[in-house]
Chains A and B, each alone.
Chain A
Amino acid sequence: MISIILLSVFGIINLFVGFMKSKRILLPLALLFLAVVFGVNLFSWNDTQSYFNNMLTIDNYAVAFTGIMTLSTLLLLPFSQRYVDTEDSNLAEYYSLLLFALVGTIMMVSYENLLMLFIGIEILSIAMYVLAGSDKRSLRSNEASLKYFLMGAFFTGIMLFGIVMIYGATGTFNITEIGAAEVATDGVLNTMFILGLLLLVIGISFKISAAPFHFWTPDVYDGTPTFFTAFMSTIVKTAGVAAFYKLMDAAFASTYAYAAWFPTLVAITVLTLIVGNIGAVVQTSMKRMLAYSSISHAGYLLIALVAFNDKSESSILFYSFAYSAASIAAFGVLKMVADQRGSEEYAAFNGLGKTNPLLAFAMTVSMLSLAGIPLTAGFFGKFFIFTSILQNPDMLWLVIVAIVLAAVGIYYYLRVVIAMYMQPTTDTEAVRVGSFASFTLIAITILTILLGIAPALVSDLI
């Protein structure tokens, strides 16, 4: 709870600091704020508290996810250095909106009441709509913002409709009470309840860009300035999946409800995996590839959700952190390369291994992590997810589908590595990297390899 308050206050302070002439202070200040929130959040560990008449519950689940989302934001911010260097006049607003968005994500992992979930998603989304359009003069950025807003508003409506239906069927917004409510008569599930459940599933699936509700993703991710795309595809996705799992676990774990959503979600999962991986293969733009790759990772995360057992929580936690760290590094490098070389195509990365060994190495580790190859965190992410789903041996087929598509994934991740180390280039000028950014890249690389060797550091948390 204290982290929500702190973040809101810090966001406002940040806005006021923005009136100062020099923008140099903003980045260190925002980093400091996040570090404070990260530290304060840890004090709630093993100290479950409910707030606002049981609207929010800060338990270990919430603390763990808040922790990794704050840490991810902390790792992301240094890549905004170019905004600092170019004295972008709106920098303070960007940071504030990110902090506010983070408030939304924390509410999404600690809600106890569907209204809180809705408010959390809205706080997050409105900040993101604005940030998607933050490059005011770019047509693509404007298009992304508008598209995101229209689609987002539409699906929020669907979700709200679902919440109302659930309320109609059970008479409560509290997810634990929904879970306990008697929703079936003579073994037949209440129609309104099913409808509400499915509408909720659809609404959240949109937020985590699961197929077939993913159509906005490539365009919006592509048009949004890279720095904010990184936030969207990592922290927002983590929050979405964590909220999704919490909802299913608390409200819809009964045998009847489970039977209703399980086949739907399995279908969504398979479709997401296929769309994400196959879509990424045909891209020539690195950024669009990462957009599709984020769809495919939503699919892997959904596998853990579909598994729905005691391993799900920790595997979602580990996977989303491994994915976030690697993606942030990938987007960060992409941003720096694209800023200098003016292109987001694979070809822009040609020869990076020679000109910028650090960037290339960090990128390689991230790509291997996203592809799930050992010695990186991504491997254990996949490992925990497969372990969790195979507790039910009947789901072996889903693992096979995931494996085949993971092999497809290696194809497009490796292309980046090949471009960096093996393709010749005429552009021999090194890409400029700020000191904050190179330090962060080193930190992410070490973190990724460390978690690839000692995964228990995160996986044993919850």
Chain B
Amino acid sequence: MITALLLFWPALAALLVLLIKGQGAKKVAFVAALVEFALSLFALSEFNTQSGAMQQTLSFPWVASAGINFSIGMDGISLLMVLLTTFLIPLIVLSSFKHDYKNPNVFYALVLFMQTGLIGVFVAMDAFLFYFFWEVALIPVYFIAAVWGGANRIRVTFKFFVYTIFGSLFMLAAFIYLYLQTPGSHTSDVNAFYQLTLSSESQSWIFWFLFIAFAIKMPIFPFHTWQPDTYTESPAQATMLLSGIMLKMGIYGVLRWLLPVVPFGVSQWDELVLILSIIGIVYASIIAIRQRDLKRLVAYSSIAHVGLIAAGIFTLNEQGLQGGVIQMLSHGINVVGLFFIIDIIFSRTQTREITSLGGITQNTPALSIYFMILLLGSVALPLTNGFVGEFLLLSGVFQYNGWFGAVAGLTIILGAVYMLRMFQGVMFGTKSELTENFSDLSLNEKAVLIPLVVMVFWIGLFPNTFLSISEPAVHNLLSIINR
């Protein structure tokens, strides 16, 4: 029941927000998002962390004649993803308080509506329900990006929309095929998919149909071409939604709907996927070094980080999978923080060019500290959240293949290069005319950054809080994959 409440509350709140005229909408949206966060904490308190099975389930017929059920539930992985979503959305709403977007009621209603889609993706236990929410999450963020975005927004978001729908249509075809393979009068339940015995040829093509959808969403090299432009042109909040939460849909999709469903398909192609992911890591890192636009730089760094997560989970060992789960949380927190800081800098200087910035530290002790912490989390310094995830992921990749691990390990060095170079260019050096009167963080901005920074240390120092939640689910997943 709590799952259903988590799922539908944001949609209801969205309708409510839609009715509010003027900038009051943002406050209502913020309160609604906080309520959602409280609900998710309640779900956590009710959660049995010893079990790897789906909990808090709810199921009733949706399209009865076709055997499609509206069935939702959470295991440890889902729960962590839900918590990430409910934790980040209030902060994303809060981060927008200094902007006065036109039609604020529509803007915030779309954010909340998207939250329903995101939660739905993470709790769906039925393939078609999953697909349904997968697309439901896309529509609001498309409108947020395309209506409130930058100068090139129309062309760029158009590409994003068509690209992702193109991928997900293949996923739909694969789901329909799998559904028709289930015995009896067919069902699209996740457990029925896990029990299918398919020939290795059909697993091979189904793998690609599903993988292409997830790979575009993440994005994995070479399906990433929509991402830097979209992140750059979208308004800050849409970028945070896309990078912080939406790309996790792709990774989550791999964990729930790809690895356990077509294990033979995975075993045929995992090496190629790892190679692509590792190419992506190195390629995106090198491009990031060359970037002058802050948003583009972080966008490319995101491709590199996601590449490592993908490489880790496709190793199919426990370290890789656990590392992938924890790194999804860390990446969500770090990237949202970084994009928020970029938004702060942009709203004060109207530029994101590294070369026209500099010397900000002199006026802003608080901003500098928060920025530095998030940045160090992102480059995986020990004691920060990034370290735990990357360590586990890299150890997973090393177990798979030493050479792969060595090349993937470059991410730490290259990451340090582009991140520190960015910090140097933006924060140190001499002041430019744009940064002359740069004011330090407002209370509101601190309220966004402090929770993020707390999480950076929490995950960095006590990763077991989170790892223990996902561990039974990961074990369960591995036992299904190796059935």
Task: Assess the A421–B180 pair: CB atoms within 8 A.
Answer: no
Residue with the greatest number of chain A CB neighbours at <10 A, chosen from B65, B66, B132, B147 = B66
Interface status of A224 (Cβ within 8 A of chain B): no
With known contacts A373-B139, A387-B66, A387-B179, A418–B158 Cβ distance under 8 A: yes
Task: Assess the B131–A374 pair: CB atoms within 8 A.
Answer: yes
Which residues of chain B from 132 to 191 have a CB within 8 Å of any chain A CB?
132, 134-136, 139, 143, 146-147, 153-154, 158, 161-162, 165-166, 169-170, 172-173, 176-177, 179-180
Interface status of B63 (Cβ within 8 A of chain A): yes
> Which residues of the other chain, A, contact B161 by a CB distance below 8 angstroms?
410, 414
> Which residues of the other chain, A, contact B170 by a CB distance below 8 angstroms?
403
* Binary interface encoding of chain A residues 401-445 relative to chain B, with 1 for a CB under 8 A from any of its CBs, else 0: 001101100110010001001110000000000000000000000
Partner of B136, one of A375, A404, A414, A460: A375
Partner of B146, one of A390, A418, A454: A418
Task: Assess the A390–B180 pair: CB atoms within 8 A.
Answer: yes
* Binary interface encoding of chain A residues 196-223 relative to chain B, with 1 for a CB under 8 A from any of its CBs, else 0: 0000000000000000000000000000
Task: Assess the A406–B132 pair: CB atoms within 8 A.
Answer: no
* Binary interface encoding of chain B residues 36-75 relative to chain A, with 1 for a CB under 8 A from any of its CBs, else 0: 0000000000000000000000000011111000000000
Task: Assess the B166–A407 pair: CB atoms within 8 A.
Answer: yes
Task: Assess the B66–A403 pair: CB atoms within 8 A.
Answer: no
Task: Assess the A460–B172 pair: CB atoms within 8 A.
Answer: no
Task: Assess the A459–B154 pair: CB atoms within 8 A.
Answer: no
Of A320-328, A344-352, A391-399, the stretch lying at the interface with chain B is A391-399
> Which residues of the other chain, A, contact B153 by a CB distance below 8 angstroms?
422
Interface status of B371 (Cβ within 8 A of chain A): no
Question: What are 27 A-B residue pairs whose CB atoms fall within 8 Å in the complex?
Answer: A373-B135, A373-B139, A374-B136, A375-B135, A375-B139, A379-B135, A383-B128, A383-B172, A386-B172, A386-B176, A390-B176, A396-B173, A403-B166, A403-B169, A403-B173, A407-B165, A410-B162, A411-B158, A421-B143, A422-B147, A422-B153, A422-B154, A456-B63, A456-B64, A456-B65, A460-B63, A460-B64
Task: Assess the B180–A387 pair: CB atoms within 8 A.
Answer: yes
A406 — nearest CB in chain B belongs to which residue?
Answer: B169
> Which residues of the other chain, A, contact B134 by a CB distance below 8 angstroms?
374
A314 — nearest CB in chain B belongs to which residue?
Answer: B65
> Which residues of the other chain, B, contact A418 by a CB distance below 8 angstroms?
146, 154, 158
A404 — nearest CB in chain B belongs to which residue?
Answer: B166
> Which residues of the other chain, A, contact B179 by a CB distance below 8 angstroms?
387
Partner of B132, one of A374, A387, A421, A423: A374
Task: Assess the A396–B177 pair: CB atoms within 8 A.
Answer: yes
Task: Assess the A459–B139 pair: CB atoms within 8 A.
Answer: no
Task: Give the distance in Å from the alpha carbon of A399 to the alpha carbon of B64 in the complex.
Answer: 24
Cβ of B2 to closest chain A Cβ, rounded Å: 22
Q: Is the interface of A mostly helix, strand, loop or mixed?
A: helix
- If A414-B158, A456-B62 are given as contacts, then 14 extra A-B residue pairs at C-beta distance below 8 Å, sorted by A number, are A373-B165, A379-B132, A387-B66, A393-B180, A396-B177, A403-B170, A403-B172, A414-B161, A418-B146, A418-B154, A421-B146, A422-B147, A454-B62, A459-B65
Interface residues on A, range: 20 to 34
Task: Give the distance in Å from the alpha carbon of A356 to the alpha carbon of B132 in the complex.
Answer: 29
Task: Assess the B173–A399 pair: CB atoms within 8 A.
Answer: yes
Interface residues on B, range: 20 to 34
Interface status of A240 (Cβ within 8 A of chain B): no
Task: Give the distance in Å from the alpha carbon of A421 to the alpha carbon of B143 in the complex.
Answer: 9
Cβ of A9 to closest chain B Cβ, rounded Å: 37
Chain A residues with a Cβ under 8 A of chain B: 368, 373-375, 379-380, 383, 386-387, 390-391, 393, 396, 399-400, 403-404, 406-407, 410-411, 414, 418, 421-423, 454-456, 459-460
> Which residues of the other chain, A, contact B62 by a CB distance below 8 angstroms?
454, 456
> Which residues of the other chain, B, contact A421 by a CB distance below 8 angstroms?
143, 146-147
Task: Assess the A390–B173 pair: CB atoms within 8 A.
Answer: yes
Task: Give the distance in Å from the alpha carbon of A414 to the alpha carbon of B165 in the complex.
Answer: 12
Cβ of A375 to closest chain B Cβ, rounded Å: 6
List 9 tightest A-B contacts by C-beta distance, closest first: A407-B166, A374-B135, A403-B169, A460-B65, A374-B132, A456-B63, A399-B173, A390-B176, A386-B176
A393 — nearest CB in chain B belongs to which residue?
Answer: B177
Task: Give the distance in Å from the alpha carbon of A321 to the alpha carbon of B132 in the complex.
Answer: 20
B180 — nearest CB in chain A belongs to which residue?
Answer: A390
> Which residues of the other chain, B, contact A411 by a CB distance below 8 angstroms?
158, 162
> Which residues of the other chain, B, contact A390 by a CB distance below 8 angstroms?
173, 176-177, 180
B155 — nearest CB in chain A belongs to which residue?
Answer: A418
Task: Give the distance in Å from the alpha carbon of A411 to the alpha carbon of B169 in the complex.
Answer: 14
> Which residues of the other chain, B, contact A414 by a CB distance below 8 angstroms?
158, 161-162
> Which residues of the other chain, A, contact B162 by a CB distance below 8 angstroms?
407, 410-411, 414
Cβ of A313 to closest chain B Cβ, rounded Å: 12
> Which residues of the other chain, A, contact B166 by a CB distance below 8 angstroms?
403-404, 407, 410
> Which residues of the other chain, B, contact A368 by a CB distance below 8 angstroms?
139
With known contacts A375-B136, A456-B63, A410–B165 Cβ distance under 8 A: yes
> Which residues of the other chain, A, contact B135 by a CB distance below 8 angstroms?
373-375, 379
Cβ of B283 to closest chain A Cβ, rounded Å: 26
Residue with the greatest number of chain A CB neighbours at <10 A, chosen from B128, B132, B146, B169 = B169
Partner of B169, one of A393, A407, A459: A407
> Which residues of the other chain, A, contact B143 by a CB distance below 8 angstroms?
421
> Which residues of the other chain, B, contact A380 by a CB distance below 8 angstroms?
63
Cβ of B90 to closest chain A Cβ, rounded Å: 25
B143 — nearest CB in chain A belongs to which residue?
Answer: A421
> Which residues of the other chain, A, contact B63 by a CB distance below 8 angstroms?
380, 455-456, 459-460
Task: Give the distance in Å from the alpha carbon of A421 to the alpha carbon of B107 in the complex.
Answer: 13
Cβ of A355 to closest chain B Cβ, rounded Å: 14
Cβ of B393 to closest chain A Cβ, rounded Å: 33
B153 — nearest CB in chain A belongs to which residue?
Answer: A422
> Which residues of the other chain, B, contact A406 by a CB distance below 8 angstroms?
169
Cβ of B147 to closest chain A Cβ, rounded Å: 6
> Which residues of the other chain, A, contact B139 by a CB distance below 8 angstroms?
368, 373, 375
Partner of A387, one of B136, B154, B169, B176: B176
Which residues of chain B from 73 to 131 have a CB within 8 Å of any chain A CB?
128, 131
Cβ of A392 to closest chain B Cβ, rounded Å: 10
Cβ of A405 to closest chain B Cβ, rounded Å: 10
> Which residues of the other chain, B, contact A404 by a CB distance below 8 angstroms?
166
Task: Give the distance in Å from the alpha carbon of A373 to the alpha carbon of B117 in the complex.
Answer: 13
Cβ of B338 to closest chain A Cβ, rounded Å: 28
Task: Give the distance in Å from the alpha carbon of A200 to the alpha carbon of B115 in the complex.
Answer: 52
> Which residues of the other chain, B, contact A373 by a CB distance below 8 angstroms?
135, 139, 165
Task: Give the distance in Å from the alpha carbon of A454 to the alpha carbon of B153 in the complex.
Answer: 34
Task: Give the distance in Å from the alpha carbon of A387 to the alpha carbon of B181 in the complex.
Answer: 11
Cβ of B320 to closest chain A Cβ, rounded Å: 32
Task: Give the distance in Å from the alpha carbon of A87 to the alpha carbon of B391 in the complex.
Answer: 78
B179 — nearest CB in chain A belongs to which residue?
Answer: A387
Task: Give the distance in Å from the alpha carbon of A143 to the alpha carbon of B327 in the complex.
Answer: 65
> Which residues of the other chain, B, contact A455 by a CB distance below 8 angstroms?
63
> Which residues of the other chain, A, contact B64 by a CB distance below 8 angstroms?
456, 460
